[in-house]
Amino acid sequence: MSDYPDVLTLLPHRPPALYVDRVVSWEGMRLVAERHFLPEDVPGHFPGRPVVPGVIMVEALAQSLACLASLMGERGNPYLTGIEKAKFRGMVVPPATLRFEVEVTERRMGVTWAKGKVLRDGVMVCQASLQAVLIAEGAG
């Protein structure tokens, strides 16, 4: 059980596009979240030997960053606007619990930059630098 609000109250995302199960810790500009993946969560990637796609790991980092913004009291819909230096350092075969760590490195003129990493059993399997913005609901 987490001491933090349910991710459904923090994010606009819903299954099957919700890739964060819970917030594990939050301190200042850093947040840690988790997701337990089962083989049925990635049925078409690859049939008979499922693998959690790298793009889902990066999206989970972005959703973790959005959870951080929400916990900080920021409002609006979160949008990922950039991904840099993404590296995939290991294959994730479910069942697997992944840990998503994000830390804001800079904020300027409504844009947030962060570094993120994905760990499985304490071993980094993915890392990326993210850029994101919050856009007010109804704005477009």
- Give all strands (DSSP E) within 12-135, no chain letters: 22-27, 30-37, 77-88, 96-108, 111-120, 123-135
User: Could you confirm whether 45 is annotated as catalytic?
Assistant: yes
The span from the CA of 81 to the CA of 1, in Å, is 32
Active-site pick, 25, 43, 45, 107:
45
Please name the residues in contact with 1: beta carbons below 8 A apart, sequence gap of 6 or more: none
Please list the active-site residues.
45
